[in-house]
Structure 1
Amino acid sequence: MKNRTVARLLYAEDVDMNGTPVRQPFPTEQVDQIDPFLMLHHHVTTISPDINPGKAGIGPHPHRGFSPVTFIYKGGVHHRDSRRNNSIVYEGGTKWMDAGMGIMHSERPPHDIQERGGVQEIIQIWVNLPRKYKMTQPNYQPLQKEETPVVKGEGYEVQVITGRFGDVKGPIRALTPLLILRLTMKAGATCEIPIPENYNTVLYFLDGQVSLQGYGLVDGHNAAELNLDGEGCTITAKQDTRILFLAGEPIDEEVSMYGPFVMNTQLEVMQAMRDYQLGKMGILIED
């Protein structure tokens, strides 16, 4: 297998998102998006015992035109939305939502967060949707750890979220062609990942240190964007590490973003703002 080369390394700087500290490797001044992936946030916090979990996290807010996806590494996330979805996804699980034409949702720590140690670690990505799906009906898919297929190798495990890895197909039904994997690797382990030739690819390293064949060492809190010049990538863990692997067919359309709305034109964004103000994205009243 010919390994892809690294186009650039993106360090996940600390960013304040309305009072919530996150690490953000992209977007940055260097790179606007890695089509179809618009954003990646890595957030770690400890929920104080003095705080009501029902008041922590992110309260009701709207989305339109893309898929916000949350990977839970520690703790859990209580999801509620204006389509009456209500579920808690715990450590090792994935929370996938196609916002489509518009939806209100909230993401709070679960009620039993203190019993689980109070620590929350999540990654949220925004996956763009093409014009033909931006106004589709919203859809929510919760995926628990025990529902996620795992491929095991010598010193590593790969959770298959969506797309196909070897003979294993991920259960998430994405609206566009994607391959999303979560890797856990022990020091010394090596894993090869084939990548469809036209998929843009980025790997985010949560911690530890790895060697990417054909490039060299990469430390945690970095994202590696790969060129379209090979059949896959080969990762060797120098230290214990966790990796989020994101690959997808590029959409190659104009993107106009404002806050929680991702459309193709500024006029469509203005319409999204108006529809939200008129209540057309629904109402979410948390219990």
Structure 2
Amino acid sequence: MKNRTVSTLLYAQVVSMGGIPVRQPFPTQRVQQLDPFLLLHHHKLDAGEDAHWEGVGAHPHRGFSPVTFIFEGALRHRDSRGHNSVVEAGGIQWMNAGMGIVHSERPEDPNKSIELIQLWINSPAKHKMDQPLYFPVTREEAPSYLSDDKLAAARIFSGEVWGIKGKIDPLSPITAVTIEFKKGAKLTIPIPAEHTAFLYLLDGKVSVGGFGLVEGHHTAVFNRDGEGVTIEALEDTRTLLMSGQPLDEPVVSYGPFVMTTQTQIMEAMRDYQMGKMGVLIED
């Protein structure tokens, strides 16, 4: 298997999202998207005297899949389609927003530590007006993989890796894997040759085969020139590996709406204001 080379490293600068500090490796002025991946936010709040986060209240989405990976704490999802569930550390909440949905994401205990990544995945144009769907997957439900050296543990949420298939069936081919490395771990991860792929480090340090050092809060973006990547952990490291078939379609976005034309964005704004995406009233 030929290893992919690294095309670029993206540092996750701290930005404010409605007063919430998040790390955002992309989009940036340099890289608008990693088709089909639109945006990555990494949020971490440690428990302590100042720890208090109420989460994100009711807001709409249309035309893409917001996917939330929970690494610490517990997050409650509610939406205008009647879903109400809590997913704890090690699990994910995957939502296909489709034609429109209103949802909220709030910690079960706003005074406890929480850490999560939210990734926006573009939907193919033909699926942007599908009925919304919501898929929670707990840590226990996610298929897992342990490396031969027993130093790297992975959870597969979508796609197929090492012959293990994830529970989520995305709207386009997407592989989603979280991997925890212990220092000294070495792991080769197969990636479909045609996929866009990146590795985000929540912390720690690794050496990427053929490239070298990648540190925490960086995204290594891979060229489409091989069938996998080899990672060696220089420290204990938590990572998110994503790959996806590029859509190669126009992207027009405005806030929580991602469509293919400006007219569709105007329609989304109108439909939300008219209540066509539903209403979420929190207790």
Assess same fold via TM > 0.5. yes
Q: Which runs of 5+ in 2 are unaligned?
A: none
* Contact 2:124/2:247, CA 8 A, preserved across alignment: yes
The runs of at least 4 aligned residues of structure 1 exceeding 2 Å deviation read: 46-53
* Contact 1:184/1:243, CA 8 A, preserved across alignment: yes
* Partner deviation per Cα, 1:66-95 (whole Å, 9 max, x = no partner): 000000000011100000000000010100
Structure 2 CA distance for partners of 1:50 and 1:236, relative to 1, 3 Å: closer
Q: Which residue of 2 aligns with 1:32?
A: 32
Aligned length in residues:
281
Structure 2 CA distance for partners of 1:14 and 1:156, relative to 1, 3 Å: same
Amino acid at match of 1:77: L
Q: Which residue of 2 aligns with 1:99?
A: 97
Amino acid at match of 1:121: E
* Contact 1:14/1:21, CA 8 A, preserved across alignment: yes
Separation of aligned partners in 2, 1:42 and 1:89:
17
| Alignment RMSD (CA, Å) | 1.4
2:182 is the alignment partner of 1:186? yes
* Contact 1:76/1:113, CA 8 A, preserved across alignment: no
* Partner deviation per Cα, 1:156-214 (whole Å, 9 max, x = no partner): 10100100011210001211101110000001100101111100001101110000000
Amino acid at match of 1:128: N
Q: Which residue of 2 aligns with 1:13?
A: 13
Separation of aligned partners in 1, 2:123 and 2:71:
25
* Contact 1:7/1:226, CA 8 A, preserved across alignment: yes
* Partner deviation per Cα, 1:17-46 (whole Å, 9 max, x = no partner): 110000000000110000000000000114
Separation of aligned partners in 1, 2:185 and 2:27:
30
* Contact 2:180/2:239, CA 8 A, preserved across alignment: yes
- The aligned runs of 1:56-205 (5 Å cut-off) are 56-110=54-108, 112=109, 114=111, 118-153=112-147, 154=149, 155-205=151-201
Q: Which residue of 1 aligns with 2:277?
A: 281
Residue identity (%): 54
TM-score, normalising length: structure 1: 0.95
Amino acid at match of 2:77: H
Q: Which residue of 1 aligns with 2:226?
A: 230
Separation of aligned partners in 2, 1:261 and 1:157:
35
3-state SS of the aligned residue for 2:140? helix
3-state SS of the aligned residue for 2:2? coil
TM-score, normalising length: structure 2: 0.97
Q: Which residue of 2 aligns with 1:261?
A: 257
3-state SS of the aligned residue for 1:147? coil
